[in-house]
Chain A
């Protein structure tokens, strides 16, 4: 199959993939290089509009918005990846043990899980942040812990489903240990579900981080964060609408691209 017909057949995958690729490239660039120091203030350029020097203009402190969007993108990306990573690693571990062994362990863990899931997640994050203090790392940890129960439940379902399949029986019959069965035989079979969970989780993490920063309990100034910038831009919505639009578009594109990519992947899988 040539590339053109592949793209035409999988428009979602192609469009989502390209948007995601661009966003990732921008975010990675933002980690190492931005046109201006995202935190350098230039009062003379305060709230200046789009110009060749500042392609997205400047904010209320005269900081270059494009540089800040780049830096904000990478912050968001790092937090989201960290969150999903914590969630999936611990979620898979808990899901594997509870799903594979079942019994009392399963009951206890899942009731605990239900209890955590019953809380509004943003409220729990708030409690966590007020105890641990805010900042990039703490936001990642707080969100990661919040994500564990839902991942654990999904992975538990997968392990439960595979536990009594014939190929697991034959692995047991070969004398494989429980650990080997769980992580060598069953785990690769859960990758499909795991990937779509990761994709949904990534979007949720981006939104949660942006939401928390918007409320002021996430990433703290002067660190650039898309949510934080959006809340600042709100005050200048009528003076300088470009500020809010540029920042908002970054979040929208990030999530749109990624959900299209994951949907396209799921359809093909």
Chain B
């Protein structure tokens, strides 16, 4: 469904161009959950932004192809790209505190994609928004509809963000460290929610994280990125059990283990 072939991203805002992503390849099937892991600055967020079509067209050179539904999203016009954004490809950001417009009501923001991509009436949009809010397990969706973002907690906002992302039933949901800013219990709930959305709606999820434990429990396949390159990829079990690359081994051994802690090591 989605094919990323030899994606290279170069920054041109300084005198010497700087490449942040080299030869990124990705194939995403319908209903799959693929994880991208790597340390900060490894290029995982950049690749995701490129797929979402959010990289600015100035100061940046991109080579390669991002093919979705037979259309190259890298070279197509902004108008064509906009038809896919929000409708087929959606994204949930890391920071739920700043991802919502502070002066607009929750209901309005969740329904925004519908307003842009469909010709539903306000009445129908309201109905669908409330249904989706209930679907992401928010209590009292009718009450939340009329609230402002500052009235909600971080976990609730992240649910709202997910609701806004899935309301158009997208084929791909890109989650860029959606749980990093949340505490552990809320994290687990959000992950469960993402998994359920994937199961019930068949939405493919591209999950970006530096939390290996989370990736291991959620994803079927995983890509390991280091310094802008994919150093290893494969099914989650394979990569975690039998890492081939030195970097991956080091990354995995860095996961704190219960037994070790008990021994006082």
Contact = CB atoms under 8 A, between A and B. Distances in A.
Interface of A: 103, 165-167, 169-177, 180, 185, 188-189, 191
B117 interface: yes
Nearest to B89: A173
A165 B98 contact: yes
Contact of A175 (B82, B100, B164): B82
Nearest to B108: A184
A175 B93 contact: no
B98 A173 contact: no
Contacts of B95: 166
Nearest to A162: B101
Nearest to A102: B58
Interface string B80-100: 001111110111010100111
13 contacts: A167-B98, A170-B91, A170-B93, A172-B54, A173-B86, A173-B89, A173-B90, A174-B90, A174-B164, A175-B84, A175-B117, A188-B103, A189-B101
Contacts of A103: 58
Contact of A176 (B54, B98, B116): B116
A171 B89 CA distance: 13
B161 interface: yes
B155 to A, nearest CB: 17
Q: Shortest 5 CB-CB distances between A and B: which pairs?
A: A174-B86, A175-B86, A175-B85, A167-B101, A166-B98
Given A103-B58, A166-B93, A180-B116, A173 B101 contact: no
A172 B85 CA distance: 8
Given A175-B85, A180-B116, A189 B102 contact: yes
A176 B93 contact: no
Nearest to A178: B78
Contacts of A189: 101-103
B91 A173 contact: yes
Contacts of B205: none
A56 B230 CA distance: 85
A30 B52 CA distance: 59
Given A188-B103, A188-B104, A191-B103, A175 B161 contact: no
A202 to B, nearest CB: 23
B135 interface: no
B112 interface: yes
Contacts of A188: 101, 103-104
A199 B128 CA distance: 41
Interface in B21-66: 52-54, 58
Nearest to B85: A175
A210 to B, nearest CB: 36
B113 interface: yes
B57 to A, nearest CB: 11
A165 B117 CA distance: 23
A55 to B, nearest CB: 47
A253 B220 CA distance: 72
Given A174-B164, A175-B117, A180-B116, A169 B54 contact: yes
Which residue of A175, A177, A188, A191 has the most chain B CB atoms within 10 A of its CB atom? A175
Contacts of B161: 170
Nearest to B93: A166
B84 A169 contact: no
Contacts of B116: 174-176, 180
Interface string B119-150: 00000000000000000000000000000000
A185 B101 CA distance: 7
A176 B99 CA distance: 15
Contacts of B52: 173
Nearest to B92: A170
Contacts of A177: 82
Nearest to A165: B98
Given A166-B98, A189-B101, 18 more contacts: A103-B58, A166-B99, A167-B100, A169-B54, A170-B93, A173-B52, A173-B86, A174-B164, A175-B82, A175-B113, A175-B117, A176-B82, A176-B116, A177-B82, A180-B116, A185-B101, A188-B104, A189-B103
Contacts of B93: 166, 169-170
B108 to A, nearest CB: 10
Contacts of A180: 116
